[in-house]
Amino acid sequence: MPYNSGPAALRQACEASLGRLGVDHIDLYQVHRPDVFTHPDDVADTLAALRAEGKVGEVGISNHTPAQHDTLAAALAERGVQIATTQVEYSAAHLDPLRDGTFDVAMRRRTAVMVWSPLAGGRLVTGHGVSPDLLDTLDDIAATHRTDRTTVALAFTLAHPCRPVVVVGSQDPGRLAAAAAAMHVPLDRTDAYRIVAAAQGEPLP
Ligand SMILES: NC(=O)c1ccc[n+]([C@@H]2O[C@H](COP(=O)([O-])OP(=O)(O)OC[C@H]3O[C@@H](n4cnc5c(N)ncnc54)[C@H](OP(=O)(O)O)[C@@H]3O)[C@@H](O)[C@H]2O)c1
């Protein structure tokens, strides 16, 4: 059962990770998915205790709704702990964090954002299951910047003012190195909103 952040399970998961990694300290310990059947005070108690014991440095979350983020952040703040990171799905093919409050809460709480599946699991590269209009738009912007669609898709995720850290999923060292080029493709507002409109499949209001 992966959704168990109860005090015993969360502590045991952390200690098991320490054992598997062969370390006595984890710099950043992130709760992968929220367990809605554990009270946030209990999660906060456990994370604060693990931190006080030196087993973890910073704590983070992943796949939490904005309200879940806010609630756990408030509980942790009472214990003197800040949520360092939130890891969320975001790409030109998955825009939810732009408008569902995910990025807003992260910015308000000064939580660093980490983006998973920035290439929609590779679909923005292969084009599989992605609208032709979005692919054409990415290709067009890529031509303007003399780069490729993959780089523009990564640059799009970097363009948000929350300044996300992009978790690139490639297992290919050459592609990982190439991904760094996205940091040098500053998309302007026109590019970014063109991608948003193409992804939504309708013009902006
Ligand atoms: N917190 C969470 O719930 C959660 C969920 C999912 C993932 N994650 C994390 O986020 C990371 C990134 O997610 P993701 O793997 O979905 O990321 P992604 O970067 O969107 O997709 C990675 C896929 O794209 C392919 N790809 C990348 N560049 C390519 C290129 N130039 N040409 C063709 N294919 C290319 C990769 O294949 P190759 O390996 O062959 O390059 C790989 O299959 C994961 O590794 C994981 O650590 C977290």
Q: What is the pLDDT of residues 146-188, one digit of tens each?
A: 999 999 999 999 999 999 999 999 999 999 999 999 999 989 9
Closest ligand 1 atom number to CA of residue 168: 19
**Residue ranges of domains in the chain:** 1-85, 90-205
Radius of gyration (C-alpha) of the chain in whole angstroms? 19
Q: What is the pTM (predicted TM-score) of this model?
A: 0.97
Question: For ligand 1, atom 21, which residue shows the shortest CA distance?
Answer: 121
Q: How confident is the model at residue 1 (pLDDT cuts 50, 70, 90)?
A: confident
Answer whether CATH 3.40.50.300 is correct for domain 90-205.
no
Question: For ligand 1, atom 43, which residue shows the shortest CA distance?
Answer: 122
Q: Is 169 in the pocket of ligand 1 (CB under 6 A)?
A: yes
Question: For ligand 1, atom 48, which residue shows the shortest CA distance?
Answer: 116
Report CA(38)–ligand 1 centroid distance (Å).
30
Bridge-based pairing of strands 83-89 and 112-116 is parallel
